[in-house]
Amino acid sequence: MDKENQEKLKKIAKLLRYYILLSTTEAGSGHPTSSLSSVELLATLFFAGFFRQDLKNPKALYNDRFILSKGHASPLLYSLYTVAGVFTKEALLTLRKFGSIFEGHPSPKFPYAEVATGSLGQGLSIGLGMALGIKLRFFGHYRPVSHFFSTQPEPLPFVFVLLGDSELAEGQVWEAISLGGHYQIDNLVAIVDVSRLGQTAETMVGWNLSNYQKKFEAFNWQVYSVRDGHDIEEIYNVYHRLIKENQPWPKVVLAKTIKGKGISFLEDKEGWHGKVLTETQLKETIKQLGDVDFKIKGVIQQPKKILIEAGNKVDEKTVLVIKKLQKLASTSQSPSSKEKNPVATREAFGQSLVDLGLTDKDIVVLDAETANSTYEDLFARRFPNRFIEVFIAEQNMVSIGVGLACLGFKVFLSSFSAFLTRAFDQIRMAQYSNAHIKIAGSHAGVSIGYDGPSQMGLEDLAMFSSILTSTILYPADKVSSAKLTSMANKLPGIVYLRLTREKTPVIYSEEEEFPIPGLKIHSRENSNFPNGKKILVIAAGITLSEALKAQRNLIGKNINLVVVDLYCPKPLDRNLLKNLIKTYPKIIVVEDHYPEGGIGSLVSKFILEENLSVDHFIHLACRKIPTSGLPQELLAYEEIDHQAITRAALAI
């Protein structure tokens, strides 16, 4: 690196420090010390020609991507684009103010932030998803590509992820490291700011770069160490080697840095995390910085528009793997569309994914090693290039899905509904990234029977209903499962499909449609008792079949059950549901879920919101800790089977 450019980067670094301190003091809050430690790392990455981005088209496929996993260092991110001339100093000084795009932690409101970050430990998984997605877009698959086959005029777009050393304590980070090494995702670059200090104390290994190096190398990462993370020339040389060598492995830059670098009384001092300078301290610090060149501008390299040649770079080994999987697919069994025997909704979901994949090339499916239970294996065999096995790592799976969705893929991912609860934070953060992901939770409720309570998803509806903009779909038979899977593919945002393990009777014809929002009414008049008592029974999934059995049981008892299939618990079909409750104010809600947060909670909340009068409201739900047993035994034990519904109706 020549001296002139080195001096220019030093001036940019000084200006970045000025903007970081000025904006955080103006805001009265923020994380200046965590931003200061990464200044040289990002100034060199962005303005020395390594990071390629079309500033007018920040979401273009040919751009490199940058993820600020340590999202609290957002003042640095915003300052970078201010130095690049995209924003003014006056705009930057709206940091953390109401309505500003410069939020306390980045979100897509800021046009150069790919995703929302700040919940530590998720950025590398999202970056891995993006890197996988870039390979899918360019090559048609994500498997390792021999450089002998590469004919691109310049390197494939890279995904750079800046992590803090504190967040390496998060298990999800190592899930991403493990999977990235397994799939040899060579366009993924992690940059670890090893500043030694966390929020309250020193990190587990402090400045021991050797410790980190051994761990990354154990997972097949190419490691580049920077002994002084503030030496621009050393940083430049490492980035240059990394890009030039382009080893067929994911890369990591381990940089020893100093928290609060550049300000003597902040450097490597505990107790300054999340604290800003006072006005007096700021004036003293500006003097310490010395002359700041406000006219200097950082230039981000414009990328070349790389020609996309998807599907033409597959080596012989990959071809053999694909052919073997597709041969298996041709012999796999799936439910016939005319099959009248009971079929599990999870099985119909799997076949519907295959049907969608035939016409929609943007569908990508992720699995947490339950594909032969969720029937995603049907998709895996038919479309191995668009199926990604994430293994038992649900948190990693959700965040990878977010990264893929950022590149325009329609992402389906699945696991047992019980295990999705451990990924709630990742799902929660996905909504702030405006991610369009479809999540299938199989084996929901006590109706799975034999496996016992640890495998029964009984909290999942509560979890997904708490996501502000989520959609919840709960099919009861194979027809509704197939139709609702297809609808999920068209819906924006986070969509949850609740699937059952047990086979359920076919209720609907193939011609039936399932609009969102919506519900289905099953009414059976009793000719012997035309003026019989009418009770509204609201059910979904496995309990719909039970409600219909109860309906038949009560034919001769002067009771007519009007059964509602609430296949879309969120959003509710408010007009139709309101009219039903007004017409039939005696209500039974029955669900295979704990009482709190499920269908009963959603319906009772709706009744209160609409100020509706009801004569009776009985909520049948799982009110006991379940055990192993036959599915029908468990439904009876929890008093959510047809006999319990019959008893409740008779009591009314």
Convert 640-650 to b/e letters by CB count within 10 Å (16 or more is b). Answer: bbbebbbebbe
The answer, yes or no, to whether residue 332 has pLDDT greater than 50, is: no
- Residue 155: the pLDDT is 75
Neighbouring C-beta atoms of residue 625, cutoff 10 Å: 8
pLDDT 10s digits, 179-207: 999 999 999 999 999 999 999 999 999 99
- Residue 333: the pLDDT is 47
The answer, yes or no, to whether residue 312 has pLDDT greater than 50, is: no
- Average pLDDT of the segment spanning 98-123: 97
For the chain, list the domains and their CATH numbers.
3-289 (3.40.50.970), 316-504 (3.40.50.970), 520-651 (3.40.50.920)
Q: How far apart are the first and last CA of the chain?
A: 84
| CA 485 – CA 471 distance, rounded (Å) | 12
Q: What is the 3-state secondary structure (H, E, C) of 589-636?
A: EECCCCCCCCHHHHHHHHHHHCCCCCCEEEEECCCCCCCCCCHHHHHH
| DSSP code string of 178-231 | HHHHHTT-TTEEEEEEE-SB-SSSB-SSTT-HHHHHHHHHHTTPEEEEES-TT-
Please list the helix, strand and coil fractions of the chain in percent, rounded to the nearest 5, in that order: 40, 15, 45
Prediction pTM value:
0.94
- For residue 439, the cross-strand partners are 413, 496
Q: What is the 3-state secondary structure (H, E, C) of 462-479?
A: HHHHCCCCCEEECCCCHH
- Residue 150: the pLDDT is 46
Counting residues of the chain whose pLDDT is more than 70, the rounded percentage is: 92
- 1 pLDDT band, cuts 50/70/90, is confident
The answer, yes or no, to whether residue 148 has pLDDT greater than 60, is: no
pLDDT 10s digits, 476-517: 999 999 999 999 999 999 999 999 999 999 999 999 999 999
69-83, 333-347, 402-416, 549-563: the lowest-pLDDT one = 333-347
- Residue 331: the pLDDT is 42
- Residue 247: the pLDDT is 85
Convert 472-503 to b/e letters by CB count within 10 Å (16 or more is b). Answer: bbbbbbbbbbbbbbebbbeeebbbbbbbbbbb
> Under 8 Å CB-to-CB from 148, ≥6 apart: which residues?
none
Helix (H, G, I), strand (E, B) or coil at 521: strand
| CA 297 – CA 305 distance, rounded (Å) | 24
> Between these two residues, 6 and 555, which has the higher pLDDT value?
6
pLDDT 10s digits, 435-472: 999 999 999 999 999 999 999 999 999 999 999 999 99
* Radius of gyration of the CA atoms of the chain, in A: 28
Residue indicated by tokens 């995603």: 376
- Residue 405: the pLDDT is 98
> Between these two residues, 617 and 532, which has the higher pLDDT value?
617
Single out the residue of 255, 259, 284 nearest to residue 270, CA to CA.
259
- Residue 308: the pLDDT is 52
- Residue 304: the pLDDT is 83
| CA 651 – CA 587 distance, rounded (Å) | 12
Helix (H, G, I), strand (E, B) or coil at 491: coil
Neighbouring C-beta atoms of residue 580, cutoff 10 Å: 18
- Residue 310: the pLDDT is 46
CA atoms within 13 A on the CB side of 377: 13
pLDDT 10s digits, 559-596: 999 999 999 999 999 999 999 999 999 999 999 999 99
pLDDT 10s digits, 149-188: 444 556 789 999 999 999 999 999 999 999 999 999 999 9
Rounded to 5 degrees, φ, ψ at 158 are -95, 155
Active-site residue (options: 234, 394, 502, 638): 394
Helix (H, G, I), strand (E, B) or coil at 581: helix
In contact, 395 and 174? CB cutoff 8 Å: no
Residue indicated by tokens 């990328």: 303
> Between these two residues, 324 and 148, which has the higher pLDDT value?
324
- 143 pLDDT band, cuts 50/70/90, is confident
Q: Is 394 a catalytic residue?
A: yes
> C-alpha distances in angstroms, 169 versus 164, 174, 175, 198?
10, 9, 12, 11
pLDDT 10s digits, 202-225: 999 999 999 999 999 999 999 999
- 558 pLDDT band, cuts 50/70/90, is confident
> Under 8 Å CB-to-CB from 121, ≥6 apart: which residues?
69, 167, 170, 171, 172, 173
| CA 564 – CA 573 distance, rounded (Å) | 12
The answer, yes or no, to whether residue 146 has pLDDT greater than 70, is: no
What H or E segment, with its residue span, contains residue 410? strand 410-416
